[in-house]
């Protein structure tokens, strides 16, 4: 039996925002962590290429270094915390640590989503642990909830608001009536959105997180490129106003649900009834709604990003792994929550064109008789029935027609809209937002 260490050495690679919060927590709550684990957790190494920047934290002499590989190979480091981000150097540091027999913790959703099977195979082969609670939902313990708290359940559906930047923008657009571009610029000025916000507002970040949630829920890997992804760039105040008038709120949702054929996995702006709890999630907060076959519905809510909430999630993984190391064990709970012979097994995804939904359509047309009937005819020819219609601004040269449909198949809707957009009185590409009424 492996002799347990008398203290747990932690090394951190990446001393940015989350790294700073993690160091701060490890130092300030050292005594609490000792009581939680039973032996001390000691910060052995911190590595970052920028050794000049003042993070407002004084580290002991020799702890702060520039070379991340030294941390990955340091025999005094039992747990390596990777907070570099991306899929380049971060992957190298993490895998080198695993090859050196170290357990690892990461907040890197892109790395897990893109390279998860490779990393899990390496972790299994080395007989070490990996923690990634901070990769989805910031301070919300959703990974542990799915992997342990709801382990007895078959997960039927997940609906998540898991990008704080998008939720902040949409919340302010809804509350203040300002346009997308103005709110985005203000979010960037306040540090709530990146200088290049495309990773967030185009839904890529959300897709990476959804891939991880589906993996934990089903045991199957989901390549991010196979997830339908649509961002929030095109949402405008006409859409917001219509949603309000008809009792809906627009959110960027990560959706995974069983539909009898497979698992729908998609990210897109979605209209949901405004009285739903998920619709009330405001600002940069996150929330994940989960439906299990025995437990029913549950909602996890909290801060989805930020220095301290994310650091809390990172250190929760450090504590869990430290407890295992103290007992001389690893792999008690597999990374994805399933003991599978092949960790690269794919989730059974349903084809996106077979998804059924209700739809909101905004069609800008020439204001003259017969236009609506021609549009309705095209929709009807593709088995799409109209639930309600609203037209505003009569007497103008161009007016918008707002349509809500009954449930229809995605492939039928796309074929219908391609035909609608070719009608001579339709002036622009039809805008579409999917509606979820049955969360």
Residue 1 placed within a domain:
no
CATH number (domain holding residue 268)? 3.30.360.10
Condensed to tens digits (0 to 9), the pLDDT of residues 305-321 reads 899 999 999 999 999 99
Query: Cα dist. 409→229, 358, 359 in Å?
Result: 17, 9, 10
* Same domain (yes/no): 268, 291: yes
Indicate the average pLDDT of the chain. Answer: 95
The Cα 416–Cα 420 span in angstroms is 6
**pLDDT classification of 251: cutoffs 50, 70, 90:** very high
CATH number (domain holding residue 412)? 3.30.70.260
Give the pLDDT score at 187: 92
Catalytic site residues?
Answer: 209
pLDDT: which is higher, 340 or 312: 312
CATH number (domain holding residue 132)? 3.40.50.720
Question: How many structural domains compose the chain?
Answer: 3
* Same domain (yes/no): 124, 170: no
Give the pLDDT score at 234: 96
**pLDDT classification of 99: cutoffs 50, 70, 90:** very high
Mean pLDDT of 102-110: 97
* Same domain (yes/no): 363, 406: yes
Query: Cα dist. 55→19, 20, 24, 30, 225 in Å?
Result: 10, 7, 10, 19, 37
The Cα 379–Cα 373 span in angstroms is 10
Q: Confirm if 155 and 290 have CB atoms less than 8 A apart.
A: yes
Give the pLDDT score at 397: 78
Of these ranges, 55-64, 231-240, 397-406, the one predicted with the greatest mean pLDDT is 231-240
* Backbone conformation region of residue 58, classed left if phi is above 0, alpha if psi is from -120 to 50, else beta: beta
Give the pLDDT score at 1: 38
Domain finish residue from 267, 288, 303? 303
Residues 38-72 as b/e (b if ≥16 CB within 10 A, e otherwise) read ebebbbbbbbbeeeeeebeeeeeeebbbeebeebb
Residue 112 placed within a domain:
yes
The mean-pLDDT minimum among 26-30, 161-165, 379-383, 387-391 falls in 387-391
Per-residue pLDDT at 340 exceeds 70: yes
**Torsion (CA) 237, 240, 242, 244 in degrees, nearest 10:** -140
* Same domain (yes/no): 201, 274: yes
* Same domain (yes/no): 321, 381: no
* Same domain (yes/no): 121, 157: no
Domain finish residue from 270, 291, 326? 326
Mean pLDDT of 346-372: 94
* Same domain (yes/no): 312, 295: no
Residue 346 placed within a domain:
no
* Same domain (yes/no): 148, 287: yes
Domain finish residue from 326, 361, 386? 326
Mean pLDDT of 332-345: 90
* Same domain (yes/no): 167, 281: yes
> What is the extent of the structural domain holding 379?
353-435
Residue 407 placed within a domain:
yes
Percent of the chain with pLDDT over 70: 98
Mean pLDDT of 243-248: 94
Q: Confirm if 387 and 406 have CB atoms less than 8 A apart.
A: yes
**pLDDT classification of 395: cutoffs 50, 70, 90:** low
The Cα 14–Cα 85 span in angstroms is 8
Per-residue pLDDT at 341 exceeds 90: no
Residue 3 placed within a domain:
no
* Same domain (yes/no): 76, 146: no
Residue 338 placed within a domain:
no
Per-residue pLDDT at 26 exceeds 70: yes
Please report which helix (H) or strand (E) contains residue 66, including its range.
none
**pLDDT classification of 47: cutoffs 50, 70, 90:** very high
3 state DSSP class of 431 = strand
Residue 344 placed within a domain:
no
* Same domain (yes/no): 296, 168: yes
Condensed to tens digits (0 to 9), the pLDDT of residues 189-244 reads 988 899 999 999 999 999 999 999 999 999 999 999 999 999 999 999 999 999 99
Residue 340 placed within a domain:
no
* Same domain (yes/no): 109, 153: no
Mean pLDDT of 155-166: 97
pLDDT: which is higher, 385 or 397: 385
């Amino acid at each position: 039996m492996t002799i347990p260490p008398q203290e747990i050495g932690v090394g951190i690679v990446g001393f940015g925002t989350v790294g700073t919060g993690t160091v701060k927590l490890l130092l300030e709550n050292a005594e609490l962590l000792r009581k939680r684990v039973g032996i001390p957790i000691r910060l052995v190494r911190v590595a970052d290429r920028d050794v000049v920047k003042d993070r407002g934290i004084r580290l002991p002499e020799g702890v702060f270094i520039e070379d991340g590989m030294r941390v990955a190979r340091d025999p005094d480091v039992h747990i390596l915390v990777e907070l570099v981000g991306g899929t380049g150097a971060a992957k190298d540091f993490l895998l080198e640590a695993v090859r050196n027999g170290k357990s690892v913790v990461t907040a890197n959703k892109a790395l897990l989503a893109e390279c998860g099977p490779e990393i899990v195979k390496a972790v299994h082969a080395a007989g070490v642990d990996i923690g990634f609670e901070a990769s989805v939902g910031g301070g919300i313990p959703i990974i542990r909830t799915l992997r342990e708290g709801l382990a007895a359940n078959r997960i039927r559906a997940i609906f998540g608001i898991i990008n704080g930047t998008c939720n902040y923008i949409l919340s302010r657009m809804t509350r203040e009536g300002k346009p997308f571009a103005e709110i985005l610029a203000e979010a960037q000025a306040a540090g709530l959105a990146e200088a290049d916000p495309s990773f967030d507002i185009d839904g890529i970040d959300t897709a990476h997180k959804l891939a991880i949630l589906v993996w934990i829920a089903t045991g199957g890997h989901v390549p991010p490129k196979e997830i339908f992804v649509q961002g929030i760039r095109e949402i405008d105040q006409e859409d917001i106003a219509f949603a309000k008038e008809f009792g809906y709120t627009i959110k960027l949702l990560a959706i995974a649900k069983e539909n009898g054929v497979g698992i729908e996995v998609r990210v897109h702006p979605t209209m949901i009834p405004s009285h739903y709890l998920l619709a009330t999630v405001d600002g940069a907060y996150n929330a994940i709604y989960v439906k299990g076959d025995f437990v029913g519905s549950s909602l996890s809510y909290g801060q989805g990003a930020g220095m301290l909430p994310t650091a809390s999630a990172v250190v929760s993984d450090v504590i869990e792994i430290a407890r295992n190391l103290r007992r001389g064990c690893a792999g008690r709970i597999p990374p994805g929550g399933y003991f599978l012979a092949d960790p690269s097994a794919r989730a059974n995804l349903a084809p996106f064109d077979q998804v059924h939904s209700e739809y909101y359509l905004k069609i800008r047309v020439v204001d003259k008789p017969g236009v609506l009937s021609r549009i309705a005819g095209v929709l009807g020819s593709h088995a799409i029935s109209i639930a309600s219609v609203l037209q505003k601004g009569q007497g103008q040269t161009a007016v918008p027609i707002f349509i809500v449909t009954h449930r229809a198949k995605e492939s039928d809707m796309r074929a219908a809209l391609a035909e609608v957009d070719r009608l001579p009185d339709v002036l622009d590409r039809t805008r579409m937002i999917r509606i979820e009424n049955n969360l």
